[in-house]
A and B are shown apart, each in its own frame.
Chain A
Amino acid sequence: MMLPRWLRRDDREVNLDRELSFHIEEKVAELVRSGVSEEDARRRVRLEFGAAEQVKEECRDVRPAYWAETFLRDIRYAWRNLRRNPGFAAVAIATLALGIGGLTAMFSAFDTILIRPLPYADPNRLVMIWDDLSKSDDRTKSDPAPAEWLEWRRLNTVFTDIASTQPTEATLSGDAAPEQVPARKATGNLWSVLGVKPLIGRVFSEEEDRNGARVAVISYGLWQRRYGGSPDVLGRKIDVNDTPYEVIGVMPHEFYFLPARDIDLWMPASFPAWMRTAFGWHDEQVVARLKTGVTREQAEQSMVALSLQLTAKAFPRPHQTIVTSLREDIAGKTQTALVVLLAASAALLLIACVNLANLLMSRGLARSRELAVRVALGAGRGRLAAQFLTESLVLAGLGALAGLALAMPAMRFLSRLVPETMGPVRLTLDWRVLAFSAASAIAAALAFGLAPALRGSWTGLQHGLREGGRGAAGARSYWFQHSLIVIETALAVMLLTSGGLLLETFRHLQNTDLGVRREKLLTFEIPLFRYKEFHRRDAFLTAVLEKIRAIPGVINAGATSQLPLKPNDLSATFYWIAGQPHESERNQVALIRLVTRDYFPTIGARLREGRFFEESDRHSDAQVAIVNETFANRNFAGRSAIGAQFKFGDTGDKGYWYRIVGVVKKIHEVGMEEAARPAVYLLHGQGNKQLMIPPGGIAVRTAVEPASIVSAIRQAIWSIDKNQPMWRVQTLKDIFAHQLTTPTESTALMGAFALLALLLASIGLYGVLSYAVTQRTSEIGVRIALGATSREILLTFSKRGLVLTVAGLAIGLGLSIVTSRFLSALLYGFRPDLIPTITVVSLILLSVALLACLGPARRASRVDPVIALRSE
């Protein structure tokens, strides 16, 4: 009679059992029949048959895909094991969650900002071309001139094509309330250089650009906001600066291009004839596509040579050229911040792993009896190691899951790191991030699991069923665990020092002298395209400023062509100082600001020498100028600049001479990331009244909270011109805070990583010392019985902890000195003193370490010798 076949997996084990025990029973029965006593028979059979478990294991091993079965079984076993030790599991998973979660979140930011392709065709071949007008060796990017663009495009050998964009102002009116929108002019080939297509409609062509066609491509945002996303916007005439333009296309939602993500309106550049030959008009941003096989470095070499040759011929000021990858210009400073923060989060995960390795090691020793039993039952060293590693993988897996839960809110915070120059991207948990998280979990499991697994399996084999876990293995594991503590302390010190340096830099930036009184200074911009003619503009501005000054709560108001803290303002103008040889005009560039008389008092600028503009200057024929300290120091080192004369632009007798009447302390005109540049301030209304950019930036000094008078100011402007929009209404404090976003965020993140590292390192120290005290309870008992005072015991254990800490501290400080060099890009040119940071870090670390030592050490000193000796 046949029994049904046993196929199911669980039955296989039962069957294996039955088959083997049948064999044993038969053998015993046979021996008993031949006259051996049953007890003897059993013993002989067992000797002959070998360890039943081992035979079973060998039988299982020949099963196909048995490894998967083993793995599942190991996972179940690991799971049970963790549930039996919830405290250990919680600490381990929390540690891993912090490590993996931090790294995952940082990776998502890193990936989104630095790795993912930009939304252009073959984006890695796109580069930006800049002029380098600086005299010095450090490269300073400046905007090129339209004439340069034309020549480069004609003569270069390294690009398939070069396009250029230039700033413009745009007030939309007519179809709805007047609205000032960010706009840009572009050459007709911009679209083909970038390789982008509109969402609907078309983009303008080179021919339209040449012919000065009045056409516009609008952003998805503007389309939705102002035109309700209606497709019949195509072909509609819209009023841009009171001139009708035809909307011909809408760009897709994800399209953006330098200099900012929020540009709403793209119009043909249509350079006027004079601009096509003006090498002195530097306001372009030039993007180019590398030919296949040409690297950025080769392109730069070629362009430097071309520009030197070109400018030497066509233009008496040869200068260098810089070619940067588009990615670099879009990511800006964020790039360095992300690299540093990613490294910091990796260091944190490493600390977490070291910590866990230590915990597992202690636990492995505590489990040596369990292991011994398994060895006796036939488990091989490989099986034990695999089992240990599986436990690590289970831990890492759970840690990664918890880490993802932590990473999601962290990613919301990190999305603030996305630079302004980058499009509307969101940090999401997609498969790339998940895959990265899984990979880091596996790497972590190997990192913290391998050593304990090998050691554990070794201990298991060595110890057998011997009592206790001390002796040689104990001493060796102390040595190993102690090195782990030193390593994690060193890493924590490195992070703390980096955090300290960033914090110091951040405080330095916060306290930067902007040359302006930040408090209660409201700024906004008004487009002045309706007032092209100087006299009307002057009358309008004067009226507006007077109305604003009359508002209760307003102390003063002034206008400037460019408000301070303007990032990416790379505009430059050549100047020539009277009495200098003509040659030295080369590479002398300065920022130009056109201001009204009250501008300096309003923003709270301070004079170094001379005077501010006066009312009489407005009516005088003598052209006057105020320069900043940088300008004065560069050109008049060691002597007074007052009274000196200079002029601008393409030199010749038609240029205007300006006499310096004052030197102001540096006003931070450019972004916080950039070094101060020479700047020249001219009085609105003097000199060349045609060419200058209109002073549409208004600064208002208030006695009350600036926000409270915004509507009064709007009313004041509208009482003069009801179609006049005002935009970019911001206090200077807000602008400043906004500029410090990257340093603020990176300091906060680095600080968080450093504190977590400190926490983990002290937990690790505490754990190892606690374990040592537990292991050596009986030894302590003996020492106390022999007369050691509890103070001596306390000292012994604290000393051990402190020695480890000091060793870690020393190594960590050494590492910090190396890493602080990599940090320098994030320090904004500031050279913080390492000594105070190191002192503070050392003090914090030592006191935390002392606390971590004290617990276990006190426990040791209170050991009752009687109990301790009895427990043996």
Chain B
Amino acid sequence: MTSPKCDLPQGTLDLLILKTVALGPVHGYAIAQRLQQISRDVVQVPGGSLYPALHRLENRKLLVAEWGQTETGRDAKFYRLTRRGRAHLEAGSASWQRLSETVGLILGMAEGGPR
């Protein structure tokens, strides 16, 4: 755990979860694993925030959950994206893209400005 960790901006966790789930039905533990792997340990979601977020998304009907079995044969709750969830994800990613480009643009300005 040498990599620096980041605090996630408000609302981004939802987006990351939706994206992870978009790849196919997945259970909570796997979501946490994947987020950690893909971000190379930059994003670490403690269970204390992950599960309330998952349940909130489920209540907002952006996710649906079904009980199924893992490869190792254990019962787990699998989350799947709904149509609304996908729409939310697309809208969310687009606006995130815009925001991050804009932020990048501003932060990338040559210091001192044009001479």
Q: Are B77 and A18 in contact (CB under 8 A)?
A: yes
Which residues of chain B are near A20, meaning CB under 8 Å?
47, 51
Which residues of chain B are near A1, meaning CB under 8 Å?
68-69
Interface residues of A in 1-37 (CB under 8 A from B): 1-3, 5-6, 15, 18-20, 22-27
Q: Which one of B51, B52, B55, B67 lies within 8 Å of A3 (CB-CB)?
A: B67
A63 within 8 A of B: yes
B59 within 8 A of A: yes
A59 within 8 A of B: yes
Q: Are A48 and B77 in contact (CB under 8 A)?
A: no
Q: Which one of B29, B48, B52, B59 lies within 8 Å of A26 (CB-CB)?
A: B29
Which residues of chain B are near A59, meaning CB under 8 Å?
51-52, 55
Complexed CA–CA distance, A174 and B76 (Å): 97
Interface string of B43-72 (1 = CB under 8 A from A): 000111001100110010000001111000
Interface string of B66-107 (1 = CB under 8 A from A): 111100001111000000000000000000000000000000
Which residues of chain A are near B68, meaning CB under 8 Å?
1-3
Interface residues of B in 6-42 (CB under 8 A from A): 27-29, 32
A49 within 8 A of B: yes
Complexed CA–CA distance, A23 and B26 (Å): 12
Q: Are A22 and B29 in contact (CB under 8 A)?
A: yes
Q: Are B66 and A5 in contact (CB under 8 A)?
A: yes
Q: Which one of A22, A49, A50, A54 lies within 8 Å of B75 (CB-CB)?
A: A22
Q: Which one of A6, A22, A58 lies within 8 Å of B52 (CB-CB)?
A: A58
Which residues of chain A are near B28, meaning CB under 8 Å?
19, 22-23
Given contacts A19-B51, A22-B76, A55-B51, contact A62 B59 (CB under 8 A): yes
Q: Are B75 and A3 in contact (CB under 8 A)?
A: yes
Q: Are A6 and B47 in contact (CB under 8 A)?
A: no
Q: Are A54 and B29 in contact (CB under 8 A)?
A: no
Given contacts A54-B48, A61-B52, contact A19 B69 (CB under 8 A): no
Which residues of chain A are near B47, meaning CB under 8 Å?
20, 23-24, 48-50, 55
Which residues of chain A are near B66, meaning CB under 8 Å?
2-3, 5
Which residues of chain A are near B29, meaning CB under 8 Å?
22-23, 26-27
Consensus secondary structure, chain A interface: helix
Complexed CA–CA distance, A26 and B26 (Å): 14
Residue of B at shortest CB range from A64?
B59
Q: Are A18 and B75 in contact (CB under 8 A)?
A: yes
Given contacts A5-B66, A27-B29, A62-B59, contact A55 B77 (CB under 8 A): no
Q: Are B52 and A50 in contact (CB under 8 A)?
A: no
Complexed CA–CA distance, A48 and B59 (Å): 26
Q: Are A6 and B51 in contact (CB under 8 A)?
A: no
Q: How far is the CB of B16 from chain A (nearest CB, A)?
A: 17
Q: How far is the CB of B73 from chain A (nearest CB, A)?
A: 10
Residue of A at shortest CB range from B58?
A62
Which residues of chain B are near A5, meaning CB under 8 Å?
66-67
Q: How far is the CB of B33 from chain A (nearest CB, A)?
A: 8
Q: Are B67 and A63 in contact (CB under 8 A)?
A: no
* A-B Cβ contacts below 8 A, count: 65
Which residues of chain A are near B59, meaning CB under 8 Å?
62-64
Q: Are B75 and A62 in contact (CB under 8 A)?
A: no
Q: How far is the CB of A64 from chain B (nearest CB, A)?
A: 6
Q: Are A49 and B48 in contact (CB under 8 A)?
A: yes
Complexed CA–CA distance, A23 and B31 (Å): 10
Q: Are A22 and B74 in contact (CB under 8 A)?
A: yes
Q: Are B69 and A62 in contact (CB under 8 A)?
A: no
Interface residues of A in 580-594 (CB under 8 A from B): none
Complexed CA–CA distance, A25 and B76 (Å): 11
Complexed CA–CA distance, A55 and B46 (Å): 10
Q: How far is the CB of B20 from chain A (nearest CB, A)?
A: 15
Complexed CA–CA distance, A769 and B45 (Å): 54
Q: Which one of B32, B55, B74 lies within 8 Å of A62 (CB-CB)?
A: B55
Which residues of chain A are near B55, meaning CB under 8 Å?
59, 62-63
Q: Are B48 and A15 in contact (CB under 8 A)?
A: no
Which residues of chain B are near A2, meaning CB under 8 Å?
66-68
Question: Which of A19, A25, A55 has the most C-beta atoms of chain B within 10 angstroms of its own C-beta?
Answer: A19
Q: How far is the CB of A42 from chain B (nearest CB, A)?
A: 14
Residue of A at shortest CB range from B76?
A22
Q: How far is the CB of B114 from chain A (nearest CB, A)?
A: 49
Which residues of chain B are near A6, meaning CB under 8 Å?
67
Complexed CA–CA distance, A55 and B76 (Å): 18
Complexed CA–CA distance, A62 and B49 (Å): 12
Q: How far is the CB of A40 from chain B (nearest CB, A)?
A: 16
Which residues of chain B are near A27, meaning CB under 8 Å?
29
Q: Are A15 and B77 in contact (CB under 8 A)?
A: yes
Which residues of chain B are near A64, meaning CB under 8 Å?
59
Q: How far is the CB of B81 from chain A (nearest CB, A)?
A: 17
Q: How far is the CB of A865 from chain B (nearest CB, A)?
A: 51
Q: How far is the CB of B78 from chain A (nearest CB, A)?
A: 9
Q: How far is the CB of B19 from chain A (nearest CB, A)?
A: 20
Complexed CA–CA distance, A20 and B77 (Å): 10
Complexed CA–CA distance, A400 and B24 (Å): 56
Q: How far is the CB of A714 from chain B (nearest CB, A)?
A: 86
Which residues of chain A are near B76, meaning CB under 8 Å?
19, 22
Residue of B at shortest CB range from A27?
B29
Complexed CA–CA distance, A19 and B76 (Å): 6
Which residues of chain B are near A18, meaning CB under 8 Å?
75, 77
Q: Are B51 and A50 in contact (CB under 8 A)?
A: no
Q: Are B48 and A55 in contact (CB under 8 A)?
A: yes
Given contacts A2-B66, A3-B75, contact A58 B27 (CB under 8 A): no
Which residues of chain A are near B74, meaning CB under 8 Å?
22, 25
Q: How far is the CB of A60 from chain B (nearest CB, A)?
A: 8
Residue of B at shortest CB range from A45?
B47
Which residues of chain A are near B52, meaning CB under 8 Å?
55, 58-59, 61-62
Residue of B at shortest CB range from A62?
B56
Question: Which of A49, A59, A61 has the most C-beta atoms of chain B within 10 angstroms of its own C-beta?
Answer: A59
Complexed CA–CA distance, A864 and B48 (Å): 52
Which residues of chain A are near B67, meaning CB under 8 Å?
2-3, 5-6, 15
Q: Which one of B48, B69, B77 lies within 8 Å of A58 (CB-CB)?
A: B48
Complexed CA–CA distance, A15 and B48 (Å): 16
Complexed CA–CA distance, A54 and B52 (Å): 10
Q: How far is the CB of B1 from chain A (nearest CB, A)?
A: 11
Complexed CA–CA distance, A611 and B67 (Å): 111
Q: How far is the CB of B76 from chain A (nearest CB, A)?
A: 5
Which residues of chain A are near B32, meaning CB under 8 Å?
23
Complexed CA–CA distance, A26 and B70 (Å): 11
If A19-B76, A48-B46, A58-B51 are given as contacts, then 9 extra A-B residue pairs at C-beta distance below 8 Å, sorted by A number, are A2-B68, A3-B75, A5-B66, A5-B67, A20-B47, A22-B76, A25-B74, A55-B51, A58-B48
* 3 shortest interchain CB distances as A-B pairs: A50-B48, A3-B67, A58-B52
A-B contact pairs, 16 of them (CB 8 A): A2-B66, A3-B75, A6-B67, A15-B67, A15-B77, A19-B51, A19-B76, A22-B28, A22-B76, A23-B29, A24-B47, A49-B48, A54-B48, A55-B51, A62-B56, A63-B55
Residues of B bordering A, CB below 8 Å:
27-29, 32, 46-48, 51-52, 55-56, 59, 66-69, 74-77
Residues of A bordering B, CB below 8 Å:
1-3, 5-6, 15, 18-20, 22-27, 48-50, 54-55, 58-59, 61-64
